[in-house]
Amino acid sequence: MLDFNPKSILGERFVALIDGAIDRNANNERRRDYLGGSAIGEPCARRLQYEYLGAPKDEGAGFSPRVRRIFRRGHESEEWMIGWMRDAGFDLRTRGKDGRQFGFEDCDGRFRGHFDGVIVGGPDGFKYPALFEAKCLGDKGWRQLSRHGVAKAYPHYAAQVAIYQAYGQLAENPAFFVALNANDMAIHCELVPFNQQLAQESIDKAARILTACDHGETLPRIAAERDSFACRFCPFQEVCWDE
């Protein structure tokens, strides 16, 4: 019987070429030299400290080309959502009058973040101005978000929103937290009230991490055992546990 769908060696080579290009571009990217507002919700302060200091990651712990493509999809989906919202009548701004992306800097520029946007007007029934944050999630994560809300399903996103509301002086009105389901393109929109306590705790955490780095202090681990769930997927296991 003829096989009309043979395994293509050229097809595999094509993918290898694409992956190689993605890896090369990733290697040329400049390492982030600041503590990011989008990451401060990570529960392990020591992991954030290692990331800020540029500690060596475990062998093979970097992002694969496939994962980087997923990240790119998330970025592109943000642009889709912005376009859809503008078409729906929302006055959504992503840059200030100076042409720069909305964001904040603190601790002499060592703690920074960039907002997806600010909604300054739009359809009746919503309150403006309001922070806009967009995510693209797999089906399982999206359903958890839809069922439980961002504070329970993704506490690190909740911390990000609270910080951006605080620094952006957007605490008066709930933020628009919008998530796109990567599987079926369903949309979840959650209006997130400002959580002052969470914002302050997150800002204090950033200051604590930077102060520890300045003084050569290694912050405590989040877990007592290396094989705990909190440590299982950390890219800094070797430097953390084999020091």
As a whole number, mean pLDDT of residues 103-119 equals 94
In this predicted model, what pLDDT tens digit does every residue of 26-68 receive, in sequence order?
777 777 789 999 999 999 999 999 999 988 888 766 778 888 8
pLDDT value for 144: 97
pLDDT value for 8: 72
Residue 212's pLDDT band, with cuts at 50, 70 and 90, is: very high
Judge whether 18 and 25 are in contact, CB under 8 Å. no
In this predicted model, what pLDDT tens digit does every residue of 60-89 receive, in sequence order?
667 788 888 887 887 888 999 999 999 999
Q: Are strands 117-121 and 187-192 parallel, antiparallel or unpaired?
A: unpaired
pLDDT value for 243: 63
As a whole number, mean pLDDT of residues 230-234 equals 86
DSSP-derived secondary structure for the chain: ---SS---HHHHHHHHHHHHHHHHHHHTSPPP-SEETTTTT-S-HHHHHHHHHTPPPPTT-SPPHHHHHHHHHHHHHHHHHHHHHHHTT-EEE-B-TTSPBPEEEETTTTEEEE-SEEEEE-STTS-SSEEEEEEEE-HHHHHHHHHH-HHHH-HHHHHHHHHHHHHTT--SS-EEEEEEETTT--EEEEEE---HHHHHHHHHHHHHHHHHHHTTPPPPPS-SSTTSHHHHT-TTHHHHH--
pLDDT value for 63: 74
pLDDT value for 106: 94
What is the average pLDDT value for the chain, to the nearest integer? Answer: 90
Q: Taking 70 as the threshold, does the pLDDT of residue 18 lie above it? A: yes
Q: Taking 90 as the threshold, does the pLDDT of residue 153 lie above it? A: yes
pLDDT value for 208: 96
Q: Taking 80 as the threshold, does the pLDDT of residue 7 lie above it? A: no
Token output for 24? 């090369």
pLDDT value for 5: 55
Q: Are strands 91-93 and 117-121 parallel, antiparallel or unpaired?
A: antiparallel
Judge whether 177 and 195 are in contact, CB under 8 Å. no
Under CATH, to which class is 35-215+224-241 assigned?
alpha beta
pLDDT value for 6: 56
In this predicted model, what pLDDT tens digit does every residue of 175-200 receive, in sequence order?
999 999 999 999 999 999 999 999 99
CA distances from 212 to 49, 150, 198, 207, 216 (A): 8, 30, 21, 9, 6
- Name which of 5-19, 37-51, 140-154, 202-216 the model is least confident about: 5-19
